Amino acid sequence: GKAKLFSVDGTKVFYNNTQIFNRDQSMLAAHTFLKYNLPNDAIYRNECHVLDALSASGLRALRYSQELLTEYQHTFKEEQRQIKLFVQSNDYSADAVKNIEFNKQNQDQKVDFEVSLKDANLLLRENKDKFSVVDLDPYGNPSFFVDAALHGLISGGMLAATATDGLITCGRQPIECFMRYQAVPAHTQFCQEFSVRMVLAQIALSCIKQRFSMNVLSCFHHAHYLRVFVQIDKRSKQKSQDMMQNLVNIAYCKNCGWFEKGQIMGSTELQCVNQKCALCGHKNWNAGPAWSGMLGDEKFISNLQKEIDGENNLKLSQQKLIRAQLSYLKNEFDHFLYFDITKICSAFHLCTLNQNVLLNYLASLKRKIIPTCFSVSGAKSDCTSEEIREILWFWWNLMHKAGKCKQAWDFGEVKKIIVEKEDLKQILQVSGVAKIDEIAKEMQDEGWVGESTLDLSSFSKQEQFKEIRSQGLFEANPEKNWGPKKMQ
């Protein structure tokens, strides 16, 4: 970014070089929020306050002071107003504050920039309804600071929170996860998205306790950490009650990764779920509560996309990656969790189902299927477990006859998929199967071939996946041993 960072001799300050993407997203989100979503209370006061509550090196707060506009123009009761920006950097470490003060003197300051040495919770409790943006970027989990952050936020303000304890939220230590987030993690392939939804659920529960509600603006999971951006409404108790419908437990299968929603939090009606997976028949496990609502606000995401290429004061080194992540998120923000066809095929002892076949099969059933920003091999769909088993049964027969699958089918009776003969040959061809004519004839004799309503020959949906995935969201690590390190 535009900030210059120096270290004072004899001081120890934590700096995380793996969080460049995080800081760039934060600059973009804060600027977009202040430009398009600034609360009326802040406009009425003619000032907006941005707090970096856990500053450490202070780089994030310094960038806020350098890259956000000094004033944001808004209309209040048909009157044009210039809303002045104030930035505050806070930390509980004297060394950190000494460094921030030193770096503050070495910047070309354009905004009112305050540095404080205080416990973050105490600072937020002492400044009720003051801040338009509160940024929580702790080493670990943010849950210890959320209640106080809600207290310090103005109604309509934005809370930005980071969690860097991916080992915990992805299910390796479920007891520790419950102690931190009051939620049971999902130790399966969609754990990254479920981690985001657990953190959102924890914030939502804090809101409900104070009769607040929240609107999720954006989020991401990158490398070993995640970040969420939520707007807090302090004035509608009804929205707070309605929000409880978005807090659910799930039942999920560790074998194939299939899942189904379970009990809604706060509901008196008992929601029974299957003890066994509806797809593969293995044992189901419990996880949650998690946020089942949207992972972003469509208008806010569109504004983020507009601002990343617009005329502003931001200096973003991760533009390409952010642009790719937002493209994914805009397609999937209203879908709950994803499945991984590679894991499902592995559970069924199959070589991976050809993506062309899967995409066009689901499209022919008028089912949505979209790629996800949380996994390179994941996809979200509104299809049922029965429909997945049908296409897998079809695929198993092809692979079994081609000699690529020697395991017996052990997943019950499944309805046959009827396909056109030429479609079947094309599927065999793109799947790299030899003896196409022999297998096609054998399948025809068994009743798989006939007049079909399915169009499996166009492979049109593949282009949609290629277009989004060509933007380069899933790239290799920039250097060896890239990831979280022990705090020095």
Q: What are phi and psi of 81, to 5 degrees?
A: -125, 145
The pLDDT confidence band at residue 479, using thresholds 50, 70 and 90, is low
> Into which CATH architecture does domain 17-332 fall?
3-Layer(aba) Sandwich (3.40)
- How many angstroms from the chain centroid is the CA of residue 348? 28
Residue with tokens 């533009």: 319
pLDDT at 83: 97
Q: Give yes or no for residue 457 having a pLDDT over 60.
A: no
Kindly write down the DSSP assignment for every residue of 71-111, as one continuous string: EEEEEETTEEEEEEEEEEEEES-HHHHHHHHHHHHTS---S
Residue 488 has pLDDT above 60, yes or no: no
Contact 23, 298 (CB under 8 A): no
DSSP annotation string for 381-399: E---HHHHHHHHHHHHHHH
What are the residue ranges of CATH 3.40.50.150 in the chain? Answer: 17-332
pLDDT-based confidence at 81, cuts 50/70/90? Answer: very high
Does residue 32 have a pLDDT over 80? yes
**Which of 82-91, 118-127, 158-167, 260-269 shows the lowest per-residue confidence on average (mean pLDDT)?**
260-269
Task: Write down the pLDDT at residue 267.
Answer: 76
Whether 324 shows a pLDDT value over 90: the answer reads yes
Q: Which two tokens stand for residue 130?
A: 């003051």
Contact residues for 275 (Cβ-Cβ < 8 A; gap 6+): 283, 284
The answer to whether 74 and 43 are in contact (CB under 8 A) is yes
Q: Parallel, antiparallel, or unpaired: how do β-strands 131-136 and 153-163 relate?
A: parallel
d(Cα 197, Cα 193) in Å, to the nearest integer? 6
- Length of the chain, please? 488
Rounded-to-integer distance, Cα 285 and Cα 194, Å = 14
Q: Which two tokens stand for residue 86?
A: 């104030």
* pLDDT tens readout for residues 399-419: 999 999 888 998 988 989 888
Separation between Cα atoms, residue 401 and residue 409, nearest integer Å: 13
The reported pLDDT for the residue numbered 290 is 97
Determine what percent of the chain is predicted with pLDDT higher than 90: 69
- The rounded mean pLDDT for the chain is 90
Lowest mean pLDDT among 23-32, 188-197, 268-277: 268-277
pLDDT level of residue 8 (50, 70, 90 thresholds): low
Distance of alpha carbon 362 from alpha carbon 241, whole angstroms: 36
pTM as predicted: 0.92
Mean pLDDT (whole number) for 360-366: 84
Which range has highest mean pLDDT (5-9, 96-100, 365-369)? 96-100
Please name which of 146, 181, 177, 150 lies closest in space to residue 161, comparing C-alpha atoms.
Answer: 146
Averaged pLDDT for residues 133-152: 97
Q: Would you state the pLDDT for residue 217?
A: 99
CB atoms within 10 A of CB 150: 21
